[in-house]
Structure 1
Amino acid sequence: MKNILVTGGAGFIGSNFIRHMLEKHQEYKIINVDVLTYAGNLENLKGIANEQNYKFIKADIRDRKKIDDIFTTYNITTVVNFAAESHVDRSIEEPEVFLTTNIIGTQVLLDTAKKYWKVNPDDKYCKQYKPGVKFLQISTDEVYGALGSTGMFVEAMPLLPNSPYSASKASADLIVRAYHETYGMPVNITRCSNNYGPYQFPEKLIPLMINNCINNKDLPVYGDGMQVRDWLHVSDHCSAIDTVLHKGADGEIYNIGGNNEKTNIEIVKLIIKTLGKSEELIKYVKDRPGHDRRYAIDNSKITSQLGWAPAYTFEEGMKETIEWYLNNTDWIYNIVSGDYQMYYMKMYD
């Protein structure tokens, strides 16, 4: 059985990925490592906690000894690194935690993997690794910076991050690349567009607007609401990561996009219309510093070389997402009220 270390697996994308892998690949054991910050929620994995091929461990990826122990105990052969502080607004207020988690944490994982995977770890010139090992870094299209009214992000573009969050992710990507070039480590990097779907932390745009609409609260929209993003259903993202894990060429970067460019205000108005609310709930607020105007992903590399393509249209994906949040109001309440964090303090601290 192949043992896969998934870091940040209690978060939005990580938990969806674990569910995907357990459903599609019974031959793998998933070791989920998460420090359970505000965005990590074990309720996202309710129903699989006792699966034979799944194990949760509370740990910080910056804790070198703990990560080393995990590699030793579980004979880790693959790392899929989702673990990251990821909210741009929080990075503007507290950049240091983003730099230490997203950069140093990634380097700790790389160092540990190199130690256990190299055929001869004591030989600095050795670039041979055990068969079948891979380090997969989950990144973001925000590392490319912002686009004008035309054009799309391609993998060969320079990295021009504009926020502390995206700068920390760009730095992590470069470290992963350096471990491939210097040490020969088998790696891939994926850079995705904006995700949406079930289990997304409710400070993000789509779940925030759905929750506020349900409760007839103001819908805060930055600036004029005309920022453009390419939206990707989380299930499509998970299938793309699975594809890269199994088919990705060593050392390659793959952009993952949903082919759904929408302005923020379009999305807000779609949610309002679907829930039968009034556009009077919209409240335009001062734009955040360094707010990128437009992102758009060119995903032709992964589609042409690896045969992946998104399955969801934006319309069906949003319909399913809104229905999920309507049917899981307790999940939202537990997060908004902070009940889930009090549970973790009791159970895991």
Structure 2
Amino acid sequence: MSIMVTGGAGFIGSNFVLDWLALSNEPVINLDKLTYAGNRGNLATLIHDPRHTLVQGDIGDPLLLASLLEKFRPRCVIHFAAESHVDRSILHPGDFIQTNVVGTFHLLEAVRKYWMSGGDALKAGFRFLHVSTDEVYGSLDNVAPAFRETDRYEPNSPYSASKAASDHLVRSYFHTYGLPVITTHCSNNYGPYQFPEKLIPLIIHNALTGKTLPLYGDGRQVRDWLYVKDHCAALRCVLAAGEVGQTYNIGGWNEKTNIEVVQTLCLILDRLCPPARGKSYAGQIAHIQDRPGHDRRYALDASKLENRLGWKPVETFETGMDKTVRWYLEHRSWVENVTSGSYLRWVEKQYQGKEALP
């Protein structure tokens, strides 16, 4: 038996693959396009591991998908592959439609054909686990209850709209064809191997290199923060015991404003890697012009997953953040390798020239 993972060289996907093979001998077929956020270095410890097969390819390639499914005969597909950064979706929305919507369609079609042509054992045990986001639900005000699985979709960015569309496609393949799918919605992940376009690794990198720590608007946008290893544990739980056709929210029960996140990072860095002349990294914080359509608050109610399957996060915000900062401090060569070339050009385009707020 084996499992197939799409996007398994990206942030969450690579953490899932590493954890899976640390806990199981079941082989992993890892399909990743290896774009800017897909990094072979994330999987360096598996380079000689026969249980891991990394295939560079596109989920939008039907012939490749069909050949991989036929060759390896996986018992499940865990679908991480996605364009996932809101800022990039504002600049280049077409990339998000192509990968998240069209790519997911091609993957579903290939999996449907594979599943329908399989024997009774494959049909009975097969699962398609679709990893989605809390952003499909839209924005909450400060007093509204956290999103539940039954809340309606109200996406507000090209990224979240593309993920919402992929969710609907997955749902339709269950109701139309009987494909045994499960969808999960996660809150903001953080931890090892996260590409430094996202808030936490961006702040760590900028702090250590003496650059501005940019905060959109007043910095009081609220997000629920989930340590990536907890997310991976939840996905294993859902894959093992989740009900076909169901949706599960995976949250960290850690609502924090962006300014709180950045201030926490500065305090940890002040302690672990003190800046010169006794100053605090907090002195590098700068509020900049907000991005278009910036959602004010996301929060997930993950009680369904806890009540039905017994999962809840292990890490608190404080312990997860401490582990994350320590990882980046101990893996500076990894950061250096991913923060050159196109990354530098993107950061310049995204942040330079933004009007500083008083």
Please give the TM-score of this superposition, normalised by the length of structure 1: 0.93
Cα distance between partner residues in 1 of 2:84 and 2:252: 20
Write out per-residue CA displacement over residues 18-54 of structure 1, whole angstroms, 9 at most, x where no aligned residue: 011111121x210000001110001111111221211
Per the TM alignment, residue 132 of structure 1 is displaced from its structure 2 partner at its CA by 1.0
Query: Which of 302, 305, 310 is the equivalent residue of 2:308?
Result: 305
Cα distance between partner residues in 1 of 2:58 and 2:334: 24
Cα distance between partner residues in 1 of 2:184 and 2:342: 33
Instruction: Please say if 1:142 is aligned against 2:145.
Output: no
Asked if the contact 2:15–2:229 (Cα under 8 Å) also holds between the matched residues in 1, the reply is yes
Per the TM alignment, residue 278 of structure 1 is displaced from its structure 2 partner at its CA by 3.5
Alignment partner of 1:337: what SS?
coil
Write out per-residue CA displacement over residues 111-156 of structure 1, whole angstroms, 9 at most, x where no aligned residue: 11111111589xxxxx996221010000000000000112101000
2:322 maps to a residue whose letter is K
Alignment partner of 2:78: what SS?
strand
Write out per-residue CA displacement over residues 247-274 of structure 1, whole angstroms, 9 at most, x where no aligned residue: 0001000000000000000111111122
Superposed, 1:78-89 pairs within 5 Å as: 78-89=76-87
1:137 maps to a residue whose letter is H
Deviates more, 1:148-157 or 1:274-283: 274-283
Cα distance between partner residues in 2 of 1:17 and 1:146: 28
Superposed, 1:267-278 pairs within 5 Å as: 267-276=261-270, 277-278=280-281
Instruction: Please say if 1:265 is aligned against 2:259.
Output: yes
Superposed, 1:8-87 pairs within 5 Å as: 8-26=7-25, 28-87=26-85
Cα distance between partner residues in 2 of 1:194 and 1:270: 16
Alignment partner of 2:220: what SS?
coil
Per the TM alignment, residue 169 of structure 1 is displaced from its structure 2 partner at its CA by 0.3
Asked if the contact 1:118–1:128 (Cα under 8 Å) also holds between the matched residues in 2, the reply is no
Instruction: Please say if 1:237 is aligned against 2:237.
Output: no
**What's 2:274 paired with?**
none
Cα distance between partner residues in 2 of 1:216 and 1:299: 38
Instruction: Please say if 1:291 is aligned against 2:294.
Output: yes
**Unaligned runs of at least 5 residues, structure 2:** 271-279, 344-358
Q: Per the alignment, do residues 280 and 120 of structure 1 end up closer, same or farther by CA in structure 2, a change over 3 Å counting? A: closer
Instruction: Please say if 1:196 is aligned against 2:195.
Output: no
Query: Which of 309, 329, 333 is the equivalent residue of 1:326?
Result: 329
- Aligned pairs, how many? 333
Q: Per the alignment, do residues 168 and 110 of structure 1 end up closer, same or farther by CA in structure 2, a change over 3 Å counting? A: same
Cα distance between partner residues in 2 of 1:7 and 1:116: 16
Asked if the contact 2:139–2:296 (Cα under 8 Å) also holds between the matched residues in 1, the reply is yes
Asked if the contact 2:223–2:298 (Cα under 8 Å) also holds between the matched residues in 1, the reply is yes
Write out per-residue CA displacement over residues 199-249 of structure 1, whole angstroms, 9 at most, x where no aligned residue: 000110000001111111100100000000000000000000000000000
Superposed, 1:107-186 pairs within 5 Å as: 107-118=105-116, 130-150=123-143, 151-186=145-180
Query: Which of 327, 335, 338 is the equivalent residue of 2:338?
Result: 335
Where does structure 1 differ by over 4 angstroms across 4 or more consecutive aligned residues? none
2:146 maps to a residue whose letter is M
Cα distance between partner residues in 2 of 1:222 and 1:120: 50
Asked if the contact 1:117–1:129 (Cα under 8 Å) also holds between the matched residues in 2, the reply is yes
Measured on the aligned residues, the alpha-carbon RMSD in Å equals 1.6
Please give the TM-score of this superposition, normalised by the length of structure 2: 0.91
Per the TM alignment, residue 72 of structure 1 is displaced from its structure 2 partner at its CA by 1.3
Per the TM alignment, residue 329 of structure 1 is displaced from its structure 2 partner at its CA by 0.8
Cα distance between partner residues in 2 of 1:62 and 1:37: 14
Asked if the contact 1:140–1:192 (Cα under 8 Å) also holds between the matched residues in 2, the reply is yes
Alignment partner of 2:153: what SS?
coil
Cα distance between partner residues in 2 of 1:220 and 1:114: 44
Q: Percent identity?
A: 52
Cα distance between partner residues in 2 of 1:128 and 1:329: 47
1:49 maps to a residue whose letter is I
